[in-house]
Amino acid sequence: MIYIAALVLTTSVAVWSCKKDEAPTVPGDNTLANEQPIALGDSLADVIDNPAIQDASTTVDLTIESYPSFLETDYFSLAIVEGPQGGKDDSLNKICTGSFKLTKAQKEKLAAAHKAKEECMDANRKLLKAIDREIESWAKNQKTEIIAKAKLQMDSINKLFDAGKITASEKKEMLNKIELARAAALKALSEKVKEKVKNSVNRATHKGKIADCEKIYLKAIKEILTAEQYEKWIKCHKLKYVKKK
């Protein structure tokens, strides 16, 4: 019986140890798994892999939002440091977190962390953006060809009409089909650009480094803020790291 009890206890401890290794927790840390620095960084990589793309039109060129603009924002720069009067609300966070006050030491450490992030990301953001500008240039050339092809077809139809070979209603119907085909081709261009973005090996390298820099920054924030502060802050900002559907 003693042997069996010891075996059960050993097994229980082993199982508990495995669970502890699988999901380490920090006392007082109530944040969810998808609110942790590594998870957020991985989500950011997915966002950069699927950038917002503005479709091309006959008057507008296709554009790629290479990376989310919030990556360059220091959300703690305007935070009010609590002092003898009890401090004030942080104007950048109060909408979604209520009162959010920092100590002077926290604010200084957060500023240093953001500066380090900027230095970490800088070169890779520039290189990633340069790749996207090349893709945009390719898309612009494709747009020019699509529009030129449609114009030639429309000119031919207008000539047929001028020569009396088609009626006004036939002309209108034929021109409408060409316009619809042109619009569809311009729309399809966005899908081709998305494929180019995802298939670029160099872009993927820079994307990964940017995401790694953000993980380091978020880890620093989590260590500088109290558990309660981090929980409030990340619940306010975590959706920025999620790919838009």
pLDDT at 83: 60
Q: Where are the domains of the chain?
A: 33-75+108-241
Average pLDDT in the 168-182 region? 97
* Token code pair at residue 111: 């500023």
Chain segment 72-105, per-residue pLDDT in tens: 988 888 777 766 544 444 444 454 545 567 888 9
pLDDT at 94: 53
Integer Cα distance of 213 and 105 in angstroms: 22
Average pLDDT in the 170-175 region? 96
pLDDT at 28: 66
Helix (H, G, I), strand (E, B) or coil at 155: helix
Integer Cα distance of 59 and 5 in angstroms: 79
* Whether the predicted model's global pTM rises above the 0.95 cut: no
For the chain, give the number of residues: 245
Chain segment 4-62, per-residue pLDDT in tens: 334 333 434 333 333 334 344 455 678 899 999 999 999 999 999 999 999 999 999 99
Integer Cα distance of 47 and 126 in angstroms: 17
pLDDT at 180: 97
Integer Cα distance of 200 and 188 in angstroms: 19
Mean pLDDT of the chain: 84
Residue type at position 9 = L
Helix (H, G, I), strand (E, B) or coil at 54: strand
Higher local confidence (pLDDT), 220 or 236: 220
Sign of CA dihedral 232, 76, 37, 240: positive
pLDDT at 228 over 70: yes
Integer Cα distance of 227 and 137 in angstroms: 46
* Token code pair at residue 164: 């009396």
Radius of gyration of the chain (CA): 28
Residue spans of alpha helices (H) in 163-200 = 168-199
